[in-house]
Structure 1
Amino acid sequence: MATKSKEIGLKPIQKESVVQQVIDRLTEAMLTGALKPGDKIPTELEMSESFGVGRNSIREAIKILVYLGVLEIRRADGTFVRSGFTDSMIDPMIYGIILNEDDSYTELKEFREFMEQSIIRSALKKRTQEDVEKLYEKYCVLEEAIQAEPMDILKVFEADNDFHDTISEMIHNSLMFKINSVVRTLTYSLRLRTVTHVLENQLKEDLLRVHKDIYEVIQNQAYDRIDEVIHNSYLYDKLTYEDH
């Protein structure tokens, strides 16, 4: 284990937040590949001696990284670098954007549009016939929810989400799926207000048309229509704020 400690740069830590510096040192080791997914990290004692800090600081840093989903503790075996993504990794990004003092709405909206364009482009390349058929099924569920009497706005919104999640699944890229999930989480209330506004203003056929256009773009691999279709779908965001 002493060799592993050398590889990940376990040098004595200087001033500032000791816990944060332990976190930074372990993060750097993961970025450089000295610690890889599935690797066991050095023990608290080994890191305490190499860093020149107390074991309480090491323990606190490990707790934070476990909470963030970066490390996992296996009882009797030790602490290991996780493999793959966990939902807890997403939380700090969400809170960071929510607590941002700047007016990040415009930036978030632009990033949402960029993500959806990228996802649809990737879906066009990777989609299978089975994917297309599944998306059509989701479109039909959405159509049924929109045409229902009486109409349930939350059911329409849920069907809308399922439709877009199905597109995200087509790209078979867990990183993009997770990032897109963050964006959709952050825009949840905006999207719900938008759908509510559209349906309450007798624009349900327009909402259905937008989703049909997206489906047809994917079905026909119509790359030249991606920007147009995505742009048209965001007119509803504009409508939501015209009343204010």
Structure 2
Amino acid sequence: MEREGVSKMPEYLKKINRSSVVQRVIDRLTEAMLSGELKPGDKIPTEMELSEQLGVARNSIREAIKILVYIGVLEIKRADGTFVCNGFSESLIDPMIYGIILNQQNSQDLNELRAMVETGVMRLAVEKSSEEEIRQLHEKMLVLKDAIFAQTPDVDQVFEADNAFHDCITEMGHNAMVSKINAITRVLTYSTRYDSVKGMLETGRGEELYSAHERVYQLIASRQLEGLHESVEGTYFLNVGKKS
């Protein structure tokens, strides 16, 4: 039973064991954020205070804080101390890029991720875009059309126009976190997307390539949610060596 007038020590400040000390410090601090013990904008104890409270060396505390700062969970204000970040930081997502790059053995997993993310991006565009943004998307589609149906289509120009079209859709969703995740998936699928566009043009399927993007535009312009996933999958053209 607690003595009257003695405050209970926060869970994240209780001593931890010696195994994987840095990771345990990271876990303790992030668990405190998830539980609400530490909130955005809160100042965390100093290195010395954390070292004493958790029963670990200061260099372990310092290393754990360095990692949490790098991934955007904590920020150091030189004159004031270390604080829990307020809001979303793009650096929260960056370490995930390396993990995905190192684990790309299964391209099917990556394609499924892309389909899921792009469907969500389109849903946000349907729900949140303005009429002016839809007009801008139409302009991007016309640029893509001109590139595809040029007398001698240039793969790089078509691919650039394709990217501009999809980037426009992402911006229409007005969600920084979703935009960042979508950007990652598009970076990771760069080569397959480029090869797909190249294969479509080389096999005379430019009309099919354009129609798939026109379908995406029509769904967004008409604020139609039904059929979004199918329209996204329709832009993949994985079997580019075959004519339909």
Matches within 5 A, 1:107-146: 107-146=109-148
* In 1: Cα distance, 2:203 partner to 2:139 partner: 26
Give the alignment's TM-score, normalised by structure 2. 0.86
| Pair 1:88–1:154, CA change in 2 (3 A) | farther
**2:221 matched to which residue of 1?**
219
Deviation at 1:216, TM superposition (A): 0.8
Per the alignment, residue 28 of structure 2 pairs with 25
Q: Which amino acid aligns with 1:71?
A: L
Compute the displacement of 1:148 (Å).
4.2
Question: How far is the alpha carbon of 1:87 from its aligned partner?
Answer: 3.3
The alpha-carbon deviation at position 174 of structure 1 amounts to 2.5
Match of 1:239 in 2: 240
Higher mean displacement: 139-148 or 193-202: 139-148
- Structure whose residues are more often helix by fraction: 1
Alignment check: 8 A CA contact 1:5 1:47 kept? no
Instruction: Name the SS of the counterpart of 2:12 in structure 1.
Output: coil
In the aligned structure 1, how far is the partner of 2:7 from the partner of 2:184? 35
Structure 1, unpaired ranges of 5+? none
Preserved CA contact (<8 Å) 1:20 1:61: yes
TM-score (norm 1): 0.86
**Secondary structure of 1:15's partner?**
coil
Q: Deviations over 1:25-59 (max 9, x none)?
A: 11111111222222222110110110111111111
The structure 2 residue matched to 1:50, chosen from 42, 50, 53, is 53
Q: Is the 8 A contact 1:4 1:42 kept in 2?
A: no
- The gaps in structure 2 that reach 5 residues or longer are 1-5
Q: In 1, Cα distance between the equivalents of 2:189 and 2:108? A: 11
Conservation of the 8 A alpha-carbon contact between 1:5 and 1:42: no
Separation of aligned partners in 1, 2:173 and 2:8: 38
- Which one-letter code corresponds to 2:219 in the other structure? V
Per-residue CA distance 1:114-152 (angstroms, 9 max, x = gap): 222222223222222112112112212222333446543
2: distance between equivalents of 1:12 and 1:88? 29
Whole-Å Cα distance in 1 between the matches of residues 42 and 157 of structure 2? 44
Whole-Å Cα distance in 1 between the matches of residues 8 and 158 of structure 2? 54
Counterpart for residue 181 of structure 2: 179
Residue 81 (1) aligns with residue 73 (2): no
